[in-house]
Amino acid sequence: MNNHMGFSSIAGFLVLISTLLACSLYLYDNVDSSLTEINSAYSEYIEHLSDKSDEKLIITSVVGVDGNIYINVLNNGSLTNEPYKWTALYNGTPKGISIDSNITYLTPLNNVTITIIGTAPARICIVSEYGNKYYYYLN
């Protein structure tokens, strides 16, 4: 009876160790995939911050004519921008923008004119795709 008891203990111990090993592998896989996602998100964030610092837009002119405000923006940075991803604020209120010639990409050292509905006086703010804000006060 003593030998039978030892075999049961060993078998139980092996089942316990096998279960613990299976759970450890499952946990490791989940932790590993979570860490990979965190690392990927961190890399995207660093790239976004780098792009944000490399972006340099300049509002070169703002003209109000017949209820429209025409805003000319120069890309003086090293990145290609996508103006349709920008937001225009007119006196603090988001406004829909239209882009001249349906320009999709604004390459470095080129400019684009965007139009919003509004009249002077106005506080204009362009928020770029990277979150930078560019201000202009139209008298």
What are 108-129's pLDDT values in tens digits?
999 999 999 999 999 999 999 9
Res 46: pLDDT:
94
Which one is predicted more confidently, 23 or 87? 87
Res 31: pLDDT:
83
Res 33: pLDDT:
85
Res 138: pLDDT:
94
Res 8: pLDDT:
80
**Structure pTM?**
0.73
Span 22-53, pLDDT tens digits:
888 888 888 888 888 999 999 999 999 999 99
CA distances from 106 to 58, 78, 99, 115, 131 (A): 12, 11, 11, 16, 16
Q: How many CA atoms lie within 13 A of 64 on its CB side?
A: 14
Neighbours of 17 (CB within 10 A): 10
Q: Which amino acid is at 121?
A: P
